[in-house]
């Protein structure tokens, strides 16, 4: 791996390891509200899972309008009511715990949790081609 790729991977890991405050619960507690995403670096899969469950429970709509929707943000694609603008882009990778290597069983379990939030065609693509681990020893990219 060259220096530029290593620095890009480090920046990606640092960005994705941070758990944004908005990933813990929806931006609005109002039933039927519209949640607008204009770029989101991702964060904790568990927190995002809980957020999406609450969004669905409240009957809210998610609009991914523009910017990069990275990491756990991509799980919004499986919300009950979601709309994606052509100006939005997505970044997918497999699960990881910053600074640690997941066991194969943990990796598979969290991959399935992430993929469960995708529509069927994206779920199949993700599970076949787009699980990426970056921990210094393993790297698998989207094909």
Show pLDDT as tens, one digit a residue, over the chain (143 residues).
Answer: 433 333 333 333 333 334 343 444 567 899 999 999 999 999 999 999 999 999 999 999 999 999 999 999 999 999 999 999 999 999 988 887 877 878 888 988 999 999 999 999 999 989 887 765 555 445 554 54
The answer to whether residue 137 sits within a structural domain is no
The answer to whether residue 143 sits within a structural domain is no
The answer to whether residue 135 sits within a structural domain is no
- Count the helix, strand and coil residues of the chain and give each as a percent rounded to the nearest 5: 45, 15, 40
Q: Is the pTM value of this prediction over 0.85?
A: no
The answer to whether residue 136 sits within a structural domain is no
The answer to whether residue 61 sits within a structural domain is yes
Radius of gyration (C-alpha) of the chain in whole angstroms: 15
The answer to whether residue 42 sits within a structural domain is yes
Give me 18's structure tokens.
């941070």
Q: Among 84, 26, 85, which residue's Cα sits nearest to residue 56?
A: 26
Structural domain boundaries enclosing 61: 3-129
The answer to whether residue 45 sits within a structural domain is yes
The answer to whether residue 119 sits within a structural domain is yes
Domain count, the chain: 1
């Amino acid at each position: 791996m060259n220096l530029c790729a290593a620095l890009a991977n480090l920046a990606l890991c640092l960005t994705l390891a941070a758990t944004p405050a908005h990933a813990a619960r929806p931006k609005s507690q109002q039933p039927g509200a519209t949640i607008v995403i204009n770029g989101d670096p991702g964060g904790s899969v568990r927190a995002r899972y809980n957020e999406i469950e609450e969004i669905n429970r409240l009957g809210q709509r998610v609009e991914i309008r523009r910017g990069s929707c990275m990491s756990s943000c991509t799980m919004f694609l499986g919300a009950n009511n979601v709309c994606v603008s052509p100006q939005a882009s997505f970044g997918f990778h497999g699960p990881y715990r910053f600074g640690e290597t997941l066991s194969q069983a943990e990796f598979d379990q969290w991959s399935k949790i992430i993929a469960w939030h995708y529509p069927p065609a994206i779920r199949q693509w993700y599970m076949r081609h787009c699980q990426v681990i970056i921990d210094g020893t393993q790297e698998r990219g989207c094909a």
